[in-house]
Amino acid sequence: MIGTRESFVERFGGVFEHSPWVAERAFDRNADIVLTANAVHSALVAAFRPASHAERLAVLRAHPDLAGKLAIAGGLTEDSKAEQASAGLDRLTASEHARFSGLNTAYTEKFGFPFIIAVKGLTKDDILAAFERRIDNSPEEEFETASAQVEKIALLRLRSMLPGEDNA
């Protein structure tokens, strides 16, 4: 049973980084969401995709830089900290950190939001290669790519929250 709007938002409001409005709209559209990772993900994505450009941009901007200042200061959400650590971004050498910092700055200056990638299963070298490839995208291409990555991150988070038959 899904429960109340408040309990749904409390449980899933952070799946899209610091953007509980996604869970609020998902619940408002369908209060009978089955509590499986795929079903909740579908409902959240159905609320995220038709949102205004400004709302989606705010979700992108809510994500932290990879291996950035928040990570160093210990200011990441638990999900973000675990995700970045799984790719070794918490164990960078000084030169690797400088490379990530330079790419973060160039990317954010170009697109107006941080580089976003679902890091699960990736190495720091995979992430750097994607960074270097995607920085050449057009703003429109990268907005869509980053949005798709946010959706992928949400699914991975939900799969860790809702073990079940559709999580294989």
Euclidean distance between CA atoms 13 and 4, whole angstroms? 13
Q: Name the residues annotated as catalytic.
A: 63
| CA torsion, ordered 157, 158, 162, 166, to nearest 10 deg | -120
Sign of CA dihedral 70, 23, 50, 55: negative
Report in angstroms the alpha-carbon separations of 71 from 52, 74, 92, 148.
Answer: 29, 5, 12, 23
Rounded to whole angstroms, what are the CA distances from 158 to 23, 35, 121, 130? 12, 10, 16, 24
Residue 101 main-chain phi, psi, to 5 deg = -60, -45
- 64 and 80 Cβ atoms separated by less than 8 Å: yes
